Chain A
Amino acid sequence: MKPNNARELNLEFYKKLYLIRTSEEKIIEHYFEDEMKTPMHMSMGSEAISVGVCQALTKQDQVFGTYRSHALFLAKTEDTDDFFAEMYGKKTSSLRGKGGSMHLCSPDYGFMGTSAIVGSAIPVALGCAYANKRAKNGKVVAVFFGDGAVEEGVFWESLNAACLMKLPIIFVCEDNGLAVHTSKAQRQGYDSIIDVVSNFNCIVCEEKTTDAEIIYKSISKIVEQMRMEQMPCFVRLEYFRYLEHVGVNEDFEAGYRTKEGFEQWLKIDPVKLQRKKLKESGLEEDEICILESSITDKINNSIKAAKKAKFCDVSEVYEGVLT
C-alpha cells in the first residue's frame, strides 16, 4: 500500500532512511569480524536519493544500480534478510553467495541488478524499458549511476537511443563529484552535464537536496510528465559520499577532499533531516524511538539469521551458468 497523505509519506521516508543507514552502520560494526567477505561500497550520505526516487515508483517499476547499491536495494525491497544473507554469502540468500555487496538482485521487487563496471547497466535498463513499452504495461525503469558514468560512451549511446525510441526510462545520476578519488574537474571537459543533456529530446531535472520528500515530489512529477510526453528523463541528484570509495572507513586524511566539506553536508544529513521533519510534524520522541528500535531489531535479526545460516554446497558454483 502506498501512503497517501504527507504525514504517512514522511513516516515512510524515515523508516526507509533509517533502515538503510542502520543496516550500513551494522555492516561497519560487524565488518571487522571478517565474516562478510565482500568489498563494501557504502551508500552512506546518498540515502535520500534512493528513498525519494523509489517512493515515486511502484513495486512493479524496475531499477538498476551500481556496485554502490545498498541504499537502492533496501529502498526498493526493504528485504534485510536477503540483503544480509548475501553479505555473508549464505545459502539463505536468493543469490546463494554469487553476488555479494556489488551484485545485488531481487527481480520480484523490480530490483533487476547492478554492474560493477561503470555504466554497464545503463543499456540493460534501456532494454527493459523497450520491453515495457512494447508490452504497454506502464512500467518505468530507473537506472542509477554515478557522475563518472557520464564519461562512458555507453551512457551517451543509451541516452541517444532512449530519446530516439521515446522509452520510459529515468537516468538517475547520483553525483558525488568523485570517480573513486578523482574529482570532476580532472575528468570533465564541460561545466554542466545538465546543459549538455538538455540538447537531447528528454526531460531534465537536477536537485541539490538531502530531503527525500523533495526528490520524491520531483520524480513523481517527472514520471507523470514522461507518461504524457512519451519521453525519457535525465535527473542529476547531488550527494556527499561519507566514506571511502571501498571499505567502511572515513578517509579524509588521504587529502583528496576535506573534512570541512563533509561537515557542511552532515548538517543536512538525510536521516537526521527527516527525523527533524517527523518531530516538526508532531511525532513524539518516544514514538520515533519505538519505530527506530523495531527497525534495528529487524536488522539485528537478519544479521543473526545470516550468521547462523549455512553456506551452500560447493557444487552450487556450477549451477546456473546456463539454464
Chain B
Amino acid sequence: MSNGYCQTYAPISAQGAGDTEVRKISYCQAVNEAMFQEMERDSRVFVYGIGVPDHKKIFGTTEGLLERFGSERCFDTPLSEDAMTGLGLGAAVNGLRPVHIHIRIDFLLLAMNQLANMISSFGYMSGGRLKVPLVIRAVIGRGWGQGCQHSKSMLSTFAHIPGLKVVLPTTPADAKGLLISAIRDDNPVLFIEHRWLYWQEGEVAEEAFAIELGKSNVLRKGTDLTIVGTSWMNAEALQAAEILDKRGVSVEIVDPRTISPLDDEAIVESVTKTGHCIIAENDWLHCGFGAEVAARVSQKCFGKLKSPVERIGFAPTPCPTARHLENEFYPNAMDIIRAVEKKLGLSEMDLSEEDFYSHENRFKGPF
C-alpha cells in the first residue's frame, strides 16, 4: 500500500481458479483494475492529467499504470485544464481513447468551454463523421475541511448539456463495469467518483466486464418508500434503510448510475409500487438532477403518488470548512431517516445509539 488508499492492482490473482467465492476489492481498486485492463486490451487508451503518475496516484486509482504502460500512455500535464481537455478531444477524433483525470471536479470547471462548446457538440457539428471516445474522470466529495473549491459535485450542470454522458457509480462492481463501458464508448463520458466511496469494498469479478451505460440499478429492495440516490448519498441511504428496517419500514433504493442519459424505468416502477419518493442527491438541489427526477415521477407516476416528491441535498450555500458547519451543509442518513418518518407520518425514532459516517468513521462496505 503506497498511498494509504488502495492496493496496487495485481493482474495475477492470489485466488486459485475454480474458487467459488467472488473476491472483494475496494472501489478504488476496481477503478484501477478497469484502467489497467482496458489499457492492456487497447493500446489506443491513454491516461493523463495533473498528478496522474505522481506518488499519490489519484487516490491510488492510477497505481501501476506508468510502470506497465510507460510515460507515453500515462503522463502528467501542465496546469492547463482548458488546453488539456481540448487535447483529449483532438486525440479522440484522431482515433485515440483518452482518459483525462481531474483530482477535483472543481478544476474541471476551468475546461467548461471545451466541455460545453466543443466536446459535447463536436460529433454533431461534424455531421456524425467524427467520434469522440473521450473519458473525463473527475473526483467529487467531501474530505475534511475541503471548503468550497475542493468539494463540488456539479452533476446536474454537466448532465444539462446534450452530447455528454454523465456516469456516477456507487458500488465497486459498478465502478469497474461502468468505467470499462465508458472507455469503450464512442461518446464523451464524464465519469464522476466520490472520494469517500474509494474505501468501500464489494464483490467484483476479476476479468474485465462491461455494464451498459444508461441503466439504473436497484441497490436495495423494499416496499414502503423509494429513495433515488446519487453517488455517496446511496451509502447514506443504505445506512438509513438499515436503521429504518429496525422499526419495520421497508425502503427501496434505486441508483440511476448514469444521470445522462437517464433510464427512469426502474425509478418509475419503484415509485409506482411504493407511492413515495425521496431523492437523495449528492449535490445542490436548485435546478438539479432531483428536480428532473421529480418532474418525471410526477409525469409518469401521477395518481400513484401517496405524497409529494421530496428532495434532500446540499445546503444552498458554498461549502464551509469548520466541521459543525460542514455537518450542517451535507445531508446524511439521519436527514434521510427524518424525511422518511415525516413522509410516512411516523414519530421520530431514537438515533442516539447510531454511528453515522464521518471523515473518521468512513464507510468500508461491503454493499
Contacts and interface: CB of A to CB of B under 8 A. Distances in A.
A157 B83 contact: yes
B128 A127 contact: no
Given A98-B125, A319-B128, A157 B187 contact: no
A87 to B, nearest CB: 15
A277 interface: no
A322 interface: yes
A138 to B, nearest CB: 13
Contacts of B117: 115, 117, 120
A130 B124 contact: no
Contacts of A75: none
A135 B96 CA distance: 9
A160 B126 contact: no
Interface stretch (A25-33, A99-107, A192-200, A291-299): A99-107
B94 A127 contact: yes
A113 B127 CA distance: 11
Contact of B127 (A96, A123, A124, A130): A96
A130 to B, nearest CB: 5
Interface in B124-142: 124-131
Contacts of A99: 125, 127
Given A120-B114, A120-B118, A323-B186, A127 B125 contact: no
Nearest to A162: B83
Interface in A237-265: none
A27 to B, nearest CB: 21
B255 to A, nearest CB: 22
A112 B93 CA distance: 9
Nearest to B122: A113
Interface string A106-131: 01100011010100111111111111
Given A96-B127, A153-B82, A127 B186 contact: no
Nearest to A64: B90
A120 B128 contact: no
A178 B321 CA distance: 46
Contacts of B82: 123, 153-154, 157
A185 interface: no
A321 B128 CA distance: 8
Contact of B162 (A94, A96, A105, A321): A321
B90 A130 contact: yes
Nearest to B119: A124
Contacts of B187: 322-323
Contact of B125 (A105, A319, A323): A105
B335 to A, nearest CB: 35
Given A158-B83, A161-B80, A322-B187, A117 B89 contact: no
Contacts, number: 138
Interface string B80-104: 1011111111111111101000000
Considering residues B92, B94, B187, which has the most beta carbons from chain A within 10 angstroms of its beta carbon? B94
A95 interface: yes
Size bin of chain B's contact surface? 35 or more
B159 to A, nearest CB: 13
Contacts of B130: 105, 107, 112-113
A123 B129 contact: no
B166 to A, nearest CB: 12
B113 interface: yes
A57 to B, nearest CB: 16
Nearest to B77: A161
A130 B96 CA distance: 10
Nearest to A97: B127
B365 interface: no
A105 B126 CA distance: 6
Contact of B90 (A128, A135, A321): A128
Contacts of B122: 113, 124
Given A105-B125, A112-B130, A124-B86, A161 B186 contact: no
B91 A127 contact: yes
Considering residues A93, A164, A323, which has the most beta carbons from chain B within 10 angstroms of its beta carbon? A323
Nearest to B89: A124
Given A115-B117, A323-B187, A126 B127 contact: no
A132 interface: yes
Given A96-B127, A120-B118, A131 B91 contact: yes
A322 B91 contact: no
Contacts of A154: 80, 82-83, 86, 113
Contacts of B129: 94, 105, 107-108
B273 to A, nearest CB: 31
A123 B80 CA distance: 10
Contacts of A320: 123-124, 127-128
B126 A131 contact: no
A2 interface: no
Interface of B: 72, 77-78, 80, 82-96, 98, 113-114, 117-118, 122-131, 162-163, 165, 186-187, 261
Given A107-B130, A123-B87, 15 more contacts: A107-B129, A108-B129, A117-B117, A121-B86, A121-B118, A126-B83, A127-B98, A131-B90, A157-B84, A158-B80, A158-B86, A320-B124, A320-B128, A323-B128, A323-B131
Nearest 8 Cβ contacts at the A-B interface = A127-B90, A123-B86, A131-B94, A157-B83, A157-B80, A127-B87, A123-B83, A320-B128
Interface of A: 62, 93-96, 98-99, 103, 105, 107-108, 112-113, 115, 117, 120-132, 134-135, 153-154, 157-158, 160-161, 164, 319-323
25 contacts: A62-B94, A95-B127, A98-B125, A105-B125, A117-B113, A121-B118, A122-B86, A123-B84, A123-B85, A124-B93, A124-B118, A126-B83, A126-B87, A127-B86, A127-B94, A128-B91, A128-B93, A130-B87, A134-B72, A135-B95, A154-B83, A157-B82, A161-B84, A320-B123, A321-B123
